[in-house]
Amino acid sequence: MSLESCELIDLPKIQDPRGNLTFVEGHNHIPFDIKRVFYLYDVPGGAERAGHALKTCHQLLIAMSGSFDVILYDGREKKRFHLNRSYYGLHIPPMIWREIDNFSSGSVCLALASELYNSDDYYRDYHGFLRALTQEQM
């Protein structure tokens, strides 16, 4: 995978004077079925989250409240995305290293995942991730 396969997805937004509504449907708005949902909140100022890559799992990250930055690395280049709208999602396919930082006060990061949690699906060591990329390219 490369950073070219990572994309911001504009999610449906139904505007109403009583409040807006956004929804996400697997294989309709995003390229995978949703098997797991989790969220990050109460992240202390200056803290970083993530710091891993996934072997097979796709994810969509959404800033439900506040804002944060997602830094992606595919082994060749890095790209930073600033998420601050609840109707945009960042699709991250497998084998992309991700870090999340610059959380604003009160921010909530929603993650939709294509797989159930499996600790064996994670590269938590950056150098191990780079070695796996090199082996994949051989």
- Specify whether 27 is catalytic: no
Query: Which residues, 6+ apart, have CB-to-CB distance to 22 below 8 Å?
Result: 11, 12, 13, 14, 86, 87
Q: Which two tokens stand for residue 95?
A: 């084998």
Choose, from 52, 82, 91, 127, the residue flagged as catalytic: 52
Please check whether residue 20 is in contact with residue 97, taking contact to mean a CB–CB distance below 8 angstroms: no
Give the C-alpha separation, 81 to 122, whole Å.
Answer: 22
Q: What is the pLDDT of residue 129?
A: 96
Domain that holds residue 116: 3-137
CATH of residue 10's domain is 2.60.120.10
Q: How many domains does the chain have?
A: 1
- Pair 72, 41: CB distance under 8 Å: no
pLDDT tens digit sequence for 71-80: 999 999 999 9
Q: 8: Cβ–Cβ under 8 A, 6 or more apart, which residues?
A: 81, 88, 89, 90, 91
Note the pTM of the prediction, 2 decimals: 0.94
How large is the average pLDDT for residues 122-132? 96
